[in-house]
Structure formats: C-alpha cells, structure tokens
C-alpha cells in the first residue's frame, strides 16, 4: 500500500465531508448570518471581541491542536494502520467535527456561555455544577501537564547539568514570538492596519524570531521555567484577547500550516510503501481495540477539550454565524488531516525499525519521520536534517504553549460560572460569591492549583485523562442534543456519537477500575496511585450515569 493513497484518499474524504455534511448541519441547525453574535452584542474589549475569520481560525486551531493529533495515531497504530485511519476519517466527519461545530453554535446562541451553562439552561442546575467540577478538574490536569511539557522543552539543562542547545533555542524563539504577537495585535486592532500586510510582516518576523533563537539560546532550569510559565499564564488569561491570544494563536497557526505542508511535500517526495500490517488484531498485548483505540486517538477524531474551547474563548470572538462552520467543523477536519500525516510517519518509521518504532516517543517519531522524508526532496544534509527536526519539535512545543494559556482562561471561566445561579452574572452577585467570581481571584486560584498539581502528582492520574477527555466529549454531545431538542431542531445527528462515546468511556473506566482494584487486592505496586486512579475512575463513571439520567427527560420529550 502506497502512503500517497492513504494521504490523498484521506484528505479527499475530509474535504467531501466538509462540503456535504458540514453544509447539511448548517441547514438543519438554522445557522443565520443575520443574527448578531455575542462578540458584538456583549463586546467588552477583553473576552468578547469580534475577530476576523482567519484570525479566529488560527486561534481555535492552535488551541485545540496541541500534541494530541500527533501522539494519538502514533500510539494507537499498534492495532494496525487501517483501524486508525477509519476512526480518524469517520470519527472526524461524523463525531468530532459535529461535536466541535455543535458546541460552538450552541454557545453563540447562549450568549457565548460554556457547555456548563448550556447544561444548566437545558438540563438543570445540579447537572451544570457537576459538569463544571469535572471540567475544571480536567482543565487543571491539562494546565499541569502542559506546563510540565513546555517547561521540559524549555529546560536548558539535562540531568547531568549539560546544556541542551535545542531547548535553549526553543525558549528564545517562544519569548520573541510572544513579544511579536503583542505588536501584531496592537497594529491590527488599535492602528487598524490591513490584516494581509500585517500577516506578511508577521510571518517574516516569525522567521526572524527563529533565526534569532537559533543564534542566541537561553539556558534556564526547568523548575524556574515552571514559575515563569505560571506568571505568563496568569497575565495571558486575563489580558484582552486582541493583545495576545488572538494574534499569538493566529501567527502560531502558520507554524502548523508550514509543518503540514512540509510533511505533505516530504511524503510525496519519498512516496513510501506502507509495510505495517493494515490490521493486527482486536487484542494486542492485552489491549483491546474497543475501547483503547477510541480513547487513544482523541484530538485526531473527537476530543472533549475542543468543546470547552468552542464554547469558551472561540464563541466569544465569532464575528458572524456563517464563520462557525469553517472554524468549528473545518478546524477539526484540518486536525484530522494532521492525524493522517502522523499515522503515515509511524508507518514510515515502522518500515525501518519494525515493532521497535513504538518504543520511540511519538513527537520524536513524527519529527524524525518527516525530516527523513524531506531528505528525499533535497533536505538531506546533516545540517538540514538537524534544522528540520528542531523546527518540527518547536512547532509541537508552540502548540502546547498555546493550549496551556487557553486552558487557563477556560478554567477561569468555569470557576466563575460555578458560583452563578440562572440569570446571574459576575457583576450582579454579592458577598463571597462576588469575590469568587472576580476574574483575577479565579485566575490566581486556578494558576496556583495548576502549578501545584504540575509540580506534584499529575502524572499519577494522567493515564485516566484519555477516558475523562472522551467522557467530556460524550457529555458535550449530550448537552448540545438537549438544547437542539428544546429548540425544536434536528438533534438526531448527535445521538449515535453521544451513545458511542459514552459507551467507550464507561467501558474504559470500568476496565481501569478493575485493573487498579486488582493491584490493590494483590498488594503490589504503588498503592497510593492505584487508590487514586480507582477512585477517580469510579467518580467519573458515576458522574456520566448521573448526567445521562438528568438529560433523559429532555431527550425523551415529544418536542420536535
């Protein structure tokens, strides 16, 4: 099987899905470009700020991407490349893109409110508070993990105290890039300079930042970077979105676009033959295709985190309803395209190393695979290979940083909404709730808890993140389905994806709980971690059942 067939066949399916199914959803849901969006009706210059479609696409895509569409397909390919490809394409078109688009559209019809608020209005306040607690804890885990990952890619020294040149360069580039983004935002939103001109200049400045970073690396220990990142996300999550979040994410997206273009060029040039078996088995080394495949490949097919971005920052910046299809549905399919590229890279490395390819960290598989394939189109010198590999790692790091401060802002929104009753706003509450709803107080608490978790034991519960993330996707589909039903719109396209994702999650959580109970009963291994993971799995399982029970009366009602 030629990798080119996988590449272009997959891309064609995704494009066809966008043109046909995406357009059908818009008609079914009643997308109306004449309706003003919350970015205009509630514009406050901080969170609610209308953004041009290309800028918001860059923010949304950068925020949802992270390392997920790279890691997932590479880790799940031990089942064979065909199940991964089918889940990426089918899951992306009929599950993930529907989930992201639905969450975004539901949010803009609820004044830019989060999924939690949508649940409150369409299912109940109890369900809302439980959902927010779960989502907030999930976001704290994201903050902890991504802060640790970014600090690791910035860490200037290895365990032996020797400098890591690539990490030092990545740190310098990232700092310069943030400064450039602030200037870009000021030029576009305060000086009203043309976006096209600023984009060209911004890309040239980005290239300059890369050159400067390679020439002048910064060497700071990883722990120090954790504190620096804490200060950064504290500031970034409360500043107006136009000054940093919008321009930084927009410019960051060009890094990913360039990375994907380079990958496609490399794959076309190398035209590798896929020697990895198409299907290895339903059970491989004690891992079962259901539910493992559907939990492991999350961001490349469907991810609950996306619903928080769609209904958090993106909905507050959407300038007109017609942009929702491009940004909500389209961004997910571009992420699926990246997942297909990632799948091809593990197939390529598998052709060289066999099963040992799965022992290599996913980001290294991705970067080395693309760099080697680029060697077939002229980038074959040792220096060119080193540069290509470093820039690919930089791209992954940039998106982790983007997801980090977006997750912090989303967690702040969640924390504030938890204390609000129906019809209340942070400005109208009084007493202690007034303090807790203050965005600075909410942010400080969030950053403190996230960093404490990051420097402590986040890795002990990270194995359950995949299941919790997919549970979030199932619950978001449940929330949007309930709203569509109450609004007398077609909600049936949500039902099967919702049921499937809940079954995936509940099965995964049950198997995790069973495994950890086995460890506890045997009295072997890390008892603290086993108890923590077993308890969390049980809590998530019960939460899912409770929210489904709360939503059933709405979904069973006789409304159209």
User: pLDDT class for 558, splitting at 50, 70, 90?
Assistant: low
pTM of the predicted model as reported, rounded to 2 decimal places = 0.91
Q: Are 482 and 554 in contact (CB under 8 A)?
A: yes
Residues sharing a CB contact under 8 Å with residue 92, sequence separation 6 or more, in sequence order? 14, 17, 300, 301, 302, 332, 333, 335, 336, 339
Q: Is the pLDDT of residue 83 over 50?
A: yes
Q: Is the pLDDT of residue 424 over 60?
A: yes
At what angle are helices 125-154 and 222-236 packed, to 10 degrees? 140
Query: What's the pLDDT score for residue 560?
Result: 45
CA distance 217 to 227: 19
Q: For the chain, what is the radius of gyration of the CA atoms?
A: 22
Q: Is the pLDDT of residue 458 over 70?
A: no
CA distance 310 to 218: 35
Number of Cα atoms under 13 Å in the Cβ half of residue 345 = 35
Mean pLDDT value of segment 86-90: 98
283's enclosing H/E stretch is strand 283-284
Q: Which range is least confidently modeled, 23-37, 130-144, 258-272, 331-345?
A: 130-144
Q: Is the pLDDT of residue 98 over 80?
A: yes
Here the tokens at position 537 are 């799995």
Query: What's the pLDDT score for residue 99?
Result: 97
Mean pLDDT value of segment 345-357: 94
Give alpha helix (H) positions in 271-381.
289-296, 304-309, 323-324, 331-353, 362-374
What's the pLDDT tens digit per position in 162-187?
998 878 888 998 899 899 999 999 99
Q: Which range is least confidently modeled, 168-177, 210-219, 457-466?
A: 457-466
CA distance 362 to 335: 16
DSSP conformational letter for 312: I
Q: Are 342 and 73 in contact (CB under 8 A)?
A: yes
User: pLDDT class for 308, splitting at 50, 70, 90?
Assistant: very high
CA distance 159 to 458: 21
Mean residue pLDDT across the chain: 90
Mean pLDDT value of segment 342-353: 95
CA distance 69 to 88: 10
Mean pLDDT value of segment 368-378: 90
Q: Is the pLDDT of residue 278 over 90?
A: yes
- The listed range with the strongest mean pLDDT (17-31, 297-311, 443-457, 523-537) is 17-31
Q: Is the pLDDT of residue 559 over 70?
A: no
Q: Are 181 and 247 in contact (CB under 8 A)?
A: yes
Q: Tell me how long the chain is.
A: 560
Strand 287-288 with 283-284, pairing: antiparallel
Q: Are 240 and 200 in contact (CB under 8 A)?
A: no
Our CA angle for 143, 149, 150, nearest 5°, is 85
CA distance 12 to 6: 10
């Amino acid at each position: 099987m030629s990798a080119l067939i996988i590449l272009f066949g997959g891309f064609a399916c995704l494009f066809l899905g966008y043109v046909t199914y995406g357009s059908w959803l818009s008609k079914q849901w009643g997308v109306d470009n004449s309706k003003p969006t919350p970015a205009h009706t509630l514009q406050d210059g901080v969170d609610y700020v209308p953004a041009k479609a290309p800028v918001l696409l860059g923010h949304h895509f950068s925020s949802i991407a992270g390392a997920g569409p790279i890691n997932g397909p590479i880790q799940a390919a031990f089942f064979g490349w065909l199940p991964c490809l089918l889940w990426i394409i089918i899951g992306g078109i009929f599950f993930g893109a529907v989930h992201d688009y639905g969450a975004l559209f539901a949010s803009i019809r609820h004044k830019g409110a989060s999924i939690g608020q949508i649940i409150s209005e369409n299912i109940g306040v109890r369900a809302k508070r439980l959902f927010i607690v779960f989502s907030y804890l999930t976001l704290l885990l994201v903050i902890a993990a991504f802060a640790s990952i970014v600090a690791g890619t910035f860490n200037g020294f290895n365990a032996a105290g020797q400098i890591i040149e690539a990490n030092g360069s990545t740190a310098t580039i990232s700092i310069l890039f943030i400064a450039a983004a602030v200037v870009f935002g000021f030029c576009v939103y305060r000086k009203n300079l043309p976006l096209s001109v600023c984009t060209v200049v911004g890309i040239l400045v980005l290239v300059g930042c890369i050159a400067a970073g390679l020439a002048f690396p910064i060497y700071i220990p990883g722990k120090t970077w954790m504190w620096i990142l804490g200060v950064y996300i504290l500031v970034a999550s409360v500043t107006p979105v136009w000054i940093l979040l919008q321009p930084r994410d927009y410019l960051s997206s060009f890094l990913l676009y360039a990375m994907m273009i380079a990958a496609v060029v490399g794959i076309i040039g190398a035209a590798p033959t896929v020697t990895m078996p198409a299907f290895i088995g339903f059970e491989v080394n004690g891992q079962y295709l259901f539910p493992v495949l559907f939990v492991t490949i999350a961001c490349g097919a469907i991810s609950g985190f996306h619903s928080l971005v769609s209904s958090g920052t993106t909905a507050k910046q959407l300038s007109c309803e017609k942009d929702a299809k491009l940004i909500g549905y389209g961004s997910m399919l571009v992420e699926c395209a990246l997942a297909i590229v990632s799948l091809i890279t593990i197939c390529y490395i598998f052709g060289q190393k066999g099963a040992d390819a799965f022992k290599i960290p996913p980001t290294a598989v991705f970067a080395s695979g693309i760099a080697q394939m680029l060697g077939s189109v002229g980038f074959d010198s040792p220096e060119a290979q080193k540069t290509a590999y470093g820039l690919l790692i930089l791209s992954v790091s940039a998106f982790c940083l983007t997801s980090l401060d977006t997750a912090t802002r989303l967690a702040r929104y969640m924390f504030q909404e938890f204390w609000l009753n129906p019809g209340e706003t942070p400005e109208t509450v009084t007493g202690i709730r007034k303090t807790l709803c203050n965005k600075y107080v909410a942010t400080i608490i969030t950053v403190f808890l996230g960093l404490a978790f990051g420097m402590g034991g986040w890795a002990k519960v990270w194995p359950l993140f995949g299941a919790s993330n997919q549970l979030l996707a199932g619950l978001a589909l449940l929330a949007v389905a309930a709203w569509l039903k109450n609004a007398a719109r077609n909600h049936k396209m949500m039902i099967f994806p919702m049921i499937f994702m809940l079954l995936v999650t509940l099965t995964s959580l049950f198997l995790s709980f069973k495994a950890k109970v086995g460890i506890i009963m045997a009295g072997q291994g890390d008892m603290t971690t086993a108890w923590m993971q077993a308890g969390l799995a049980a809590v998530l399982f019960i939460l899912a059942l409770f929210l489904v029970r709360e939503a059933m009366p709405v979904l069973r009602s006789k409304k159209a």
